[in-house]
Structure 1
Amino acid sequence: FLPSNLSASVSANQQGSKQKLRTGKLKRNYTMKASKNFSMTYSPIRTVSMSLNRSSQHDLHDIKDPMKIFSALFSDTTMLANSQNFNATYKPTRLQWLSPSITYKADYALARSPQLKASGNSVRSGRSIRTTFSFSPQKLVNTVYTPPFREAGKRPQERMSPGRRPPGVQKEEKEHEEEKPGEETEQTEEKKAGRPLNPLYYVEKFSSKFSPVSIIFDKSTTLNTPGLDGTPTLKYQLGVTTDPG
């Protein structure tokens, strides 16, 4: 029930410069920008996998107290940009002959003007759903019939022709075979009889000649919302609703 991968990072860049004007005054320039990144991969069950990547950039030049820098990274008033990517995939283990798969993606990005601070946000969001099927005739036949050698986990061994042997050995074997004519007749009849014919064997062999057929359904939506006040809701960021709130 725990995430299979979890990572987070924070980086900051501080720059300062001094410029002496013609009037003799000293002009100071100070900038401090920071960014934070978060990523997670989670599979609550075997057939479902999810991933979330989130990053944001912040302007901290107004923060004078060093003790408040960390808390300012989680404030909307310092955020300049924010982006998020969410993926979810569902692959059922049943119906292997059809190989169904459903993938949902939601992208979200927010750009904010430093002068307007909380207002004047430009938001872009997009979501897409992809459903894929890969139909395999051979796997469909294998649901009701599997060749005997495949059930045993190996292919039948080919009968190897014996190598040349010394004349004396061949003569002894020939004499030995002549002594047991009944056994030779029994083996010949058994070979002729063989295994009973199964029509599904030929159906399975014929279906193996066909490659899987892929079918893909795509549906995507993109929304652009300029001049938005505040931060959109989590449902909007994940593409669940078109109302930013």
Structure 2
Amino acid sequence: MDNGRRRNKLISTRPGERGAGETETENDEPPRHLPTSRSTTSTPVPPNRLSPLLFELSRHLSIVPAVFALCLHLYHIYRPPEIPPCPPERIDYIVAALWTILTGYQCLSLTTGLLVRWRVYYPPLATLIRLVSLQAICWPATHFTLTLLEHEKRPVIVWAIIGTTTCASKSVQIWVTSNLWWETLPNGTPGGALVDENDNINGNASEIKWRRFKGGQWGGRRWNWNPVVRKCMLPAGLLYCFMAWAEQLRREWSSAGC
């Protein structure tokens, strides 16, 4: 079987065939015969100029809760609410606003990373459904957290929890999409092709296979700690540091007025 037929081989759901019953999400120990990438070339989808616009609109839906919260926090910085007995102060809303900015950025980055993967594995309509479904999960989860922890009384704590959870989700997304990358074409032009262990683009199959399965099992996925630390841990750590200093400064200002 040539490389072209291997690349076009889809996962089958027919009993008795190789890879039957398997899905795109690999098990803890994926079978050897399960393909690690899909191609929709066997069932071409007609070009649709509306699809990129719908992808962009659905992708930016992820930042809607954070944008609304940021606007609310900016308003409360200008005019703090009066919530007895101890209403939040301006410094609280400044810190909470920074957490909402980080949350919105991470939500957009998370959705973009998943969109890259879904566009590889699925046709446009299935990808769009997954984008909308992701927001249908994230929006109620954010609202539930805000309601449960009473964000009117403790905006910093609530949005620190939401922002930290979003950073953790982003790190998982980095791991999930770590088995996908774009190869450079042999002539050196950009915009290459997605490869797996059966491909031999540059005549160096062993190197491609080592890169694909670096880290062992889990379908070639691996923890790449450099982007995890840079994109997830470092921003959250900086905000935690700023939050601690803001609390200390507020204590100093409060004691100075006594």
Q: Same fold (TM over 0.5)?
A: no
Smaller-chain TM-score range? Answer: under 0.3
Q: Which protein has the bigger strand share? A: 1
TM, length-normalised to structure 2? 0.24
TM, length-normalised to structure 1? 0.24
